[in-house]
Chain A
Amino acid sequence: MTLLGADRLLAPLRQALRDVPADEADIHVHRRRAAITRYSHSSIHQNAVSDETHATVRAIVAKAVGIVTMNSLEPSDLRRALTEAASLARASRPDDEWPGVADPEPIAAPSSFHEETAATTPEAQANSIGAVCAAVPKSMRAAGTAQIEVTEDAVANTRGVAAYAPATMAYLRALVQSDTYVGSGYAEDLSMRVDGLHPETIAARAAEKCALDRDRIQLAPGDYEAVFEELAVAEVLRVMSLTGLGGQSVREGRSFMTGRIGERVTGESFTLVDHAMDARTIAVPFDVEGTPRQKVMLVERGLARGPVYDRTSAKAMGARSTGHAADPSRYAAGGHAGHLAMAGGPATREQLIGSVRRGVLITRFHYTNTPDPRAATMTGTTRDGTFLIVDGKITRALANVRYTMSALDLFAGIDLLGPQRLARDWWSSNGMGSILCLVPPIKVRRATITGSSPL
């Protein structure tokens, strides 16, 4: 995909918005080149690239909203979409809660684009996979994904908003399995820059875990001390985000924050912000409504501080949009906290494990869900590295366990925090969600294990 840049991408939007047949209108465009190479048994089995354009047009007539989405940037197509959206709005009914399209505000310069990453070749992607496979011991096999994504986002509206940002994302993951016993290990790198991926290191980390993951035993259900690695913590944060950090969920009584803003909801060691403009994450500096993304304190030392908002939920709650409107085809309206940063600490991996008298180390989770959204309860099974820790040392590999617990209860028991790193939960790792986390590993006093998978 050739980058269009701000002027060439915004020009057809501005042109289409002239003399729009509606009271007001906005257009969000997302262009994407997704290059994904997948491998298993140390062999590439899928190698795909797609160039896509998504244009979402909203037209508002007498507070009624019509939305049309299509994949063309031709001014004539955009104008047709605006006319169609206006026609849908006229056939619709007024929305008394409609907040109006966004007013122009200063927006930070984009900081998540890396030119060399955008130019990554298929050969380079294959080479990174080849490097992982070559670094894995002969008695093991590797599987995973190498992904390069290049995007351009733009928003323009009839009040003069004109925002543009390119971004890049590089991702490499490796799941290593033994050819001789049941066992697996996992590692990944996620970065704005392709030179932030380290195939040999990923292979070594995953292979080391796989080597430890043999002769598994089953763990009895119960409460255990635990070390959650970064990916495992990201999974818990995802549950908090989807169930409780959006303005609409607070308003509707579905959030753990409902009626509790300003109150203690978890332990003092837990602080969580949404901060898209943190230089270590990957983000566009505005949301799909064209509002600049704000840094939002969500939970401060265990006290609920408030959710994120889009324009509609902000109006309903008497607040200002925090710049957290999300693609309505993928997320519920009301604000999406997608760039989380959980406060970390100085603890090393050795200190985290060393502080456990008898407990569990969890590498990551698979297919989690939330049986009690109001309590931010998560259930899910572990995978690719679950270990028993006794007297500060990993002593045995464990069959995958089912964990079920409220995020608030889990974080109430934080004893130690390690340094943050950029990670995504399992769901977000294939694009099913879009939550990036700067997240630390943690040691907690209590994690509830409710079952075990077979050996």
Chain B
Amino acid sequence: MPATDRRLTDLVHTAASRGATYADARTVEREHEAVSVKDGAVESVTRTSDRGLGFRVVHKGAWGFAATDRTDEAAIRGLVDEAFRRAEASASVQRRTVTLAPVASQRGEYRTKLARDPFAVPLAERIDHLRAVDAASVGPNIKTRRSSMAAYRTRKHLVTSEGTDVSQEIVEAGAGLSVLAVKAGRKPASRYDSRLVRQAGWEYVEHLDLVARAKRYRDDAEATLDAPLADERPTTLVFAPEFLALLVHESCGHPTEADRLLEHEVAFAGTTFMWPEDRGKLRYGSPHVSMTADATVPGGMGTFGWDDDGVPAMKTKLVDKGIFVGYLTSRETAGALGVPVTIGSARAEGWQHFPIVRMVNVSLDPGTTPYADLLRGIDSGLLMDAPASYSLDDKRQNFHFSTQSARVIRDGQLDGYVRGVSFQSLTPDFWGRCDLVADDWELHGFLSCAKGEPLQLMRVGHGAAHARFRDVPIEVRE
């Protein structure tokens, strides 16, 4: 057994001997490499790493957590005192004691399946690839071009006082693209994507065909620059999977996080409009709308072997044929609600963070209609390619989204661009307008879902297919 592994076991045993009703110790090592090219030149080459240990106890019915990146024995032993002292302090202002929903102890290993380790790809190969992408982005009015590639590796080891001992190695690879078109007398137009990331190896970057994508982004931005303003009237909107991935994230993923209904996040991230008494009754959307949380999706950024409570990856329905049915839970929130854990969603960004409820892969379930057939049913409408600005209220009910690129749909065909399109809506009203979901489901990855105090940026995954929404009021601004 490596020294660190022994330390984790020692820590939870020590906690148990001091009276903790629960303890876990978690080491996390993270590596990240990124290369970016701007306007043909290498903008940055970075390599990041960190490692440390987080230690959690439930003592006197309250949590205490301490974390350090020091590796000496004194610092690690000091974690026990820190965590107990914090738990004691918590217990002094407490009306609700911590109850963890039961989960069988776990043992094992999880590793990302990958064909080519992205860290092993020579830097020169990555730079050459990005330069080719950059060259494909050049356009008459493109003023700024950026492209990047990144690789991430996370090694985690969790040991709990209940006998769980699990290790994981997660590898992710991804790319980013952006272009900014500027022309005198016109409003600048940008097209970008920072969600091209997957739990996978270099093969995912190759699969993205970044050169073709760069040309498309260039063309979208150039065309948007000169496009007329859209007509401000209710219209049929078709959302590309990339756009819907964010809508699902913001309007379904967040409000189904169970810590929101316990008001753990009320002062910052907010609460929800989906309360326990609404479960099985609240009409969230049309019967075409079903959403699933699934930590087992191959390649998903929210896929893992176990969450940071040691709960094995699971799958559960959040919205079923338009009806709200489920929550994302941790052991603590399931315990507080008095329900079994149907999906383990407790995750911490790093060793220094306390695990909180986070999305896994939360996806809009696919329909059965080909995308072309979905378009054929539209006399007049807009295709919303990718989100630009977005803003939501503290209950995830009132939202506003604008789009980077809006394409005109006329008689079932794409026919040019318009600009200035945004829309605001209330969540159930918006999803209630969905009358068809296509079958072209695809997975997207987010690197930095922000939540918690201190801030934790979490990887999450979202799948979606093209979907059609009728009579959506849009706003048009210069």
**List of B residues within 8 angstroms of A85 by Cβ:** 47
Interface segment among B157-165, B360-368, B387-395, B433-441: the answer is B387-395
Among A47, A91, A381: residue with most chain B CB under 10 A: A47
Interchain CA distance A97-B316 in the complex, whole Å:
51
Q: A133-B93, A369-B391, A371-B402 are in contact. Are A44 and B397 (CB under 8 A)?
A: no
A411 → chain B, closest Cβ, in Å? 19
| B450 within 8 Å of A (CB atoms) | yes
Report A-chain residues with C-beta under 8 Å of the C-beta of B82: 49
CA distance A253 to B75 in the complex (A): 50
- Asked if B96 lies at the interface with its beta carbon under 8 angstroms from chain A, I say yes
- Given A67-B45, A91-B124, A381 and B394 touching (CB < 8 A)? yes
Within 8 A of A (CB), among B263-288: 263-264, 266-268, 270
Measured CB to CB, the nearest residue on chain B to A175 is B267
Asked if A400 lies at the interface with its beta carbon under 8 angstroms from chain B, I say yes
Also in contact, A430 and B391, with CB within 8 A (given A43-B93, A125-B89): no
The answer to whether A123 and B454 touch across the interface, beta carbons within 8 angstroms, is no
B393 & A367 in contact (Cβ 8 Å cutoff): yes
Q: Is A89 an interface residue (CB 8 A)?
A: yes
Which A residues are CB-close (under 8 A) to B127? 91-93
B376 at the interface (CB under 8 A from A): no
Residues from chain B with Cβ under 8 Å of A130 in the complex: 92-93
A381 to B426, CA, bound (A): 12
Stretch in A290-298, A340-348, A372-380 with 4+ CB within 8 Å of B: A372-380
Contact A404 B453 (CB under 8 A): no
B70 close to A (CB within 8 Å): yes
Shortest B182–chain A CB gap in Å is 5
- The count of residues in chain B whose C-beta lies closer than 8 Å to any C-beta of chain A is 81
Q: Is B331 an interface residue (CB 8 A)?
A: no
Central interface residue in B51, B187, B394, B452, by most chain A CB within 10 Å: B394
Q: State the CA gap A84–B49 with chains docked (Å).
A: 12
Q: Please choose the segment from B61-69, B211-219, B229-237, B294-302 that sits at the chain A interface, where 4 or more of its residues have CB less than 8 A away.
A: B61-69
**A453 near B44: Cβ-Cβ < 8 Å:** no
The contact of A43 among B68, B95, B398, by CB within 8 Å, is B95
Provide the residues of chain B in CB contact with A252, threshold 8 Å: 143-144, 180
Q: Which residue of A lies closest to B424 (CB)?
A: A451
* B 243-272 binary contact with A (CB < 8 Å = 1; else 0): 000000000000000000011101110100
Encode contact with A along B416-457: 1 for CB under 8 Å, 0 otherwise: 000000101010000000000000000000000010111100
- A-B CB contact pairs (8 Å), 23 listed: A43-B96, A45-B96, A46-B264, A48-B354, A49-B66, A53-B69, A65-B45, A70-B48, A91-B123, A93-B127, A126-B89, A174-B267, A175-B267, A252-B180, A253-B188, A329-B48, A366-B392, A374-B188, A383-B393, A426-B268, A429-B268, A431-B453, A431-B454
Given A66-B46, A383-B393; 20 other pairs, CB 8 A cutoff: A46-B63, A47-B62, A49-B65, A49-B67, A67-B47, A71-B69, A88-B46, A88-B47, A145-B453, A252-B143, A328-B44, A369-B390, A370-B389, A371-B389, A372-B187, A381-B391, A381-B392, A381-B393, A404-B400, A454-B398
A interface residues, Cβ below 8 angstroms from B = 34, 36-54, 64-72, 84-85, 88-89, 91-93, 95-97, 121-123, 125-127, 129-130, 133, 143-145, 147, 173-175, 177, 186, 252-254, 328-329, 333, 366-372, 374, 379-381, 383, 400, 402, 404, 426, 429-432, 450-454
* Residue positions of B touching A, CB distance < 8 A: 35, 41-52, 54, 62-70, 75, 82, 85-96, 98, 122-124, 127, 143-144, 180, 182, 187-188, 262-264, 266-268, 270, 352-354, 356, 388-395, 397-398, 400, 402, 422, 424, 426, 450, 452-455, 475, 477
